[in-house]
Amino acid sequence: MEKLTSKQQTEVGKMSTERLRIKLAKAGYDEETVATADRTVLLNMYAEYLIAPPEMVAVAAGGATKGGMTEEELDLRLQELELKKKAEERAEREYQQREKEMELRKKADKRAVKEKEEEMELQHVSWPRM
Contact 27, 57 (CB under 8 A): yes
Phi-psi label, residue 19: left if phi above 0, alpha if psi -120 to 50, beta otherwise: alpha
Dist CA 47 CA 1 (whole Å): 5
Give the relative orientation of helices 39-51 and 17-26 as an angle to the nearest 10 degrees: 40
* Counted domains in the chain: 1
Residue 50 within a domain: yes
How does residue 56 score in pLDDT terms, banded at 50, 70 and 90?
very low
* φ/ψ of residue 105, rounded to 5: -65, -40
Q: How high is the pLDDT of residue 102?
A: 96
| Cα dihedral sign, 47-50-56-57 | positive
Residue 97 within a domain: yes
3 or 23, which is more confident?
23
Residue 59 pLDDT more than 60? no
Residue 1 within a domain: no
Q: Which structural domain, as residue segments, surrounds residue 25?
A: 6-126
